Amino acid sequence: MESPISHLFKKLIIFFLITLLTTLVSSKQQCRNFKSIISFGDSITDTGNLLGLSDLNNLPQAAFSPYGETFFHIPTGRFSNGRLIIDFIAEFLGLPYVPPYYGSQNVSFEKGVNFAVAGATALESSFLESRGIHYAHTNVSLGVQLKSFKESLPNLCYSPADCRETIGNALIIIGEIGGNDYNYGFVVGKTVEEVKELVPLVISTISSVITELVSMGGRTIMVPADFPVGCWPAFLTEYRASNKEEYDPLTACLKWLNEFVKHHNNELQEELNRLQKLYPHVTILYADYFNALLHIFQEPAKFGFMNRPLSACCGSGGPYNYNSVSQCGTKGVYCCIDPSKYVHWDGFHLTESAYRLIAVGLLEGPYTIPAFDWSCRGFELKNGSSGKQYSFSSR
């Protein structure tokens, strides 16, 4: 007769084996060897699309020096001094930098494809116009980008089955998108409550695009949160207040604006959780841009930035080095000597150094929810050609 101790020991062994098997299966489901990146969004992700869509008489500011000076050494249409978050993700996965779709020749899935356009909104421009939100920027909304992607498929893959497999093997990045819908609303003088009415519409639009991409074969979709734009030099300049209560005592950012962004991000995360339950075979990742960047603003020196991180590197005038009339890329506008010490590049966009740290926070740190196993590739983010490696805990 088997002793109670032997029986308990066997049960423990069985429990351990089941747990180990479950863990291995779960890891295998999450760990994917991505063949390419497909992306949508606005200037945070644009690798040259607005430049490709512009005529020579109306080029964007990112077409001029000092944009691109740190890494590419020429302007590429990226709204930064160097690489963006998407560029660091591509490096980490061992993939080429994702080329822009608009204005490019011979785009293929071998290098990935990017539809993100600077100035883009989640909602259609006609709808925003009907709400009294007028703006002179691009009308390439998220819906237009998705339409371009669907129309491009015959040139990117050989057959419907091939397209489905290719989409399934890609990391799909949707955003950051929606921030401009709100930014334009605030710029034209809408109240917080009026702009807040757009939030469920923006979330619904993002959700619809995710659903459509899942139906096309998408298996791994990353959706970034909006940034803490209450820390943006442009908004700090526009909404400068004498009342200290309006500012976060730790970061000196505008509290009310960051609270608004938190509302959007909470709604987005809830919707992604709902979609994850609806599509359990798909991995839907929430990229927490907000807290990854806020951590930097809270402890800038820890990450190698100057102790006053709210000023733009490239700009002119005022306490935040931002002037809406004389912006970065305009002749005569000053650029700092060492952008690596700055978080902000031009008042609306970040430096390469800040984007790198955010990417590290997503790929090696705690800011991808749920935690994702990127170990299929095993690459590490490096600082330019020096080979210096970074982790989010120290710089």
- State residue 6's pLDDT score: 55
- The reply to whether 384 falls in a domain is no
Q: Is the peptide bond before 370 cis (omega within 30 degrees of 0)?
A: yes
Please enumerate in sequence order all residues whose Cβ is within 8 A of that of 102, keeping only pairs 6 or more positions apart, or say none: 49, 52, 53, 115, 117, 140, 148
**What pTM does this model have?**
0.88
Q: What is the pLDDT of residue 169?
A: 95
Q: What pLDDT is recorded for position 65?
A: 97
Which residues have a catalytic role annotated? Answer: 43, 346, 349
What is the spatial distance between Cα 395 and Cα 300, in angstroms, rounded to a whole number?
11
| Distance from chain centroid for Cα 267 | 17
Query: Does 314 fall in a domain?
Result: no
pLDDT by residue for the chain (395 residues), tens digit each? Answer: 555 555 545 554 544 444 444 444 343 345 558 999 999 999 999 999 999 999 998 999 999 999 999 999 999 999 999 999 999 999 999 999 999 999 887 777 888 999 999 999 999 999 999 999 988 777 899 999 999 999 999 888 889 999 999 999 999 999 999 999 999 999 999 999 999 999 999 999 999 999 999 999 999 999 999 999 999 999 999 999 999 999 999 999 999 999 999 999 999 999 999 999 999 999 999 999 999 999 999 999 999 999 889 999 999 989 999 999 999 999 999 999 999 999 999 999 999 999 999 999 999 989 999 999 887 644 445 554 333 344 433 33
Domains contained in the chain, number: 1
To the nearest 10 degrees (0 to 180), the angle between helices 289-298 and 352-363 is 120
353 near 284, Cβ under 8 Å?
Answer: no
Kindly give, in sequence order, each residue whose CB lies less than 8 Å from that of residue 57, ignoring residues fewer than 6 positions away. none
Residue 393 pLDDT:
39
Cα–Cα distance, 121 to 124 (Å, whole number): 7
User: Within 13 Å and on the Cβ side, how many CA atoms surround 316?
Assistant: 12
Q: Nearest 5 degrees, angle CA 35-CA 37-CA 357?
A: 115
Does the residue 378 lie in any domain? no
- What's the rounded Cα separation, in Å, for the pair 91 and 94? 5
Tell whether 44 is covered by a domain: yes
Instruction: Report yes or no on 190 lying in a domain.
Output: yes
What's residue 155's pLDDT? 85
Q: What's 119's domain CATH number? A: 3.40.50.1110
Q: Which domain holds residue 76?
A: 32-309+349-370
Q: Is residue 320 part of a domain?
A: no
DSSP-assigned letters across all residues of 134-192: ---S----HHHHHHHHHHHHHHH-SSHHHHHHHHHTEEEEE-S-SHHHHHHHHHTT--H
